[in-house]
Chains A and B, each alone.
Chain A
Amino acid sequence: SAVISQKPSRDICQRGTSLTIQCQVDSQVTMMFWYRQQPGQSLTLIATANQGSEATYESGFVIDKFPISRPNLTFSTLTVSNMSPEDSSIYLCSVRLAGGELFFGEGSRLTVL
C-alpha cells in the first residue's frame, strides 16, 4: 500500500491569488496524478506528474493555470493560479503502485472567495 500526505487539508483563499498543494508519498512511485473533485461530481483528472519531465495535462487543463512540479519520485506539487470561485473544489493526489492499485491522498479542500 501507499501512504499519501497532502497539505494543506483545506484553505480559504481570495480571488486572484495562487495556492500550492503538496503531495508526499511514503514510497517511490513512477506516476503521480492530480484530480479535481467538484461538489456532487466525478473525479476529473487534471494531469499526470512525471518525474524528470513536464506534466501531461488533460483536455481543459493548462499548465499556466495548474503548474505542477515533480522534483523526485516521492513528491509533487500542484499550484492553482489566479484563483476564482469556480476553482473551489477538492484537489486529490493519487499514485498507482506496481500492481495497478490506485491510492489517493486525503484531499485538499479549497474555497475561493
Chain B
Amino acid sequence: KNQVEQSPQSLIILEGKNCTLQCNYTVSPFSNLRWYKQDTGRGPVSLTIMTFSENTKSNGRYTATLDADTKQSSLHITASQLSDSASYICVVSESDYKLSFGAGTTVTVRA
C-alpha cells in the first residue's frame, strides 16, 4: 500500500476559481513534505517544501499546509489560471534518501 495517498485523483475547475488538493501520508519518521507540479510531457517542478515545524508555506498563488500530527497536507490554488492545468504530486521524505511519492492529482482548468 502506498504510504502517500492523494485526493481527488482528478478535478476540473473553472478559470478564476480556487481548489484544494489533499495529501495523507503514513510515512514515518517524517523529514519533510514537498509538492511538485508536473505539466504534461515535462518533469516535476518543486512548488513548496515543508519541514515538521512548518504548517503553511506559500509560493505565489499556491499555498501548502501541513498538519504533522494528523499526517495531512493540502495544496490550495487561488484564482486558478489555465496554466495551472497539470498533475500535482505530494512527496514525503523519511530522509534525504528515502522518498515516497503520491500518485498525483490531475487538475484541469477550463476557461
Say yes or no: A42 contacts B4, CB within 8 Å: yes
Say yes or no: B41 contacts A104, CB within 8 Å: no
Question: B21 near A: Cβ within 8 Å?
Answer: no
Say yes or no: A41 contacts B103, CB within 8 Å: yes
Say yes or no: A43 contacts B43, CB within 8 Å: no
Say yes or no: B46 contacts A102, CB within 8 Å: yes
Question: B89 near A: Cβ within 8 Å?
Answer: yes
Interface digits, A37-74 against B, CB 8 Å rule (1 contact, 0 not)? 00011111100100000000000000000000000000
Interface digits, B80-111 against A, CB 8 Å rule (1 contact, 0 not)? 00000000010100001101111110000000
Question: B2 near A: Cβ within 8 Å?
Answer: yes
Q: What B residues does A101 contact at CB under 8 A?
A: 46, 49
Q: List the interface of chain A (C-beta within 8 A of B).
A: 4, 6, 9, 40-45, 48, 92, 96, 100-107, 109
5 examples of A-B residue contacts, CB within 8 angstroms: A42-B2, A42-B102, A92-B44, A102-B46, A104-B36
16 additional A-B pairs beyond A42-B101, A43-B101, beta carbons within 8 Å, are A42-B89, A42-B100, A43-B89, A92-B43, A96-B96, A100-B32, A101-B46, A102-B34, A102-B46, A102-B91, A103-B46, A104-B43, A104-B45, A105-B43, A106-B41, A107-B43
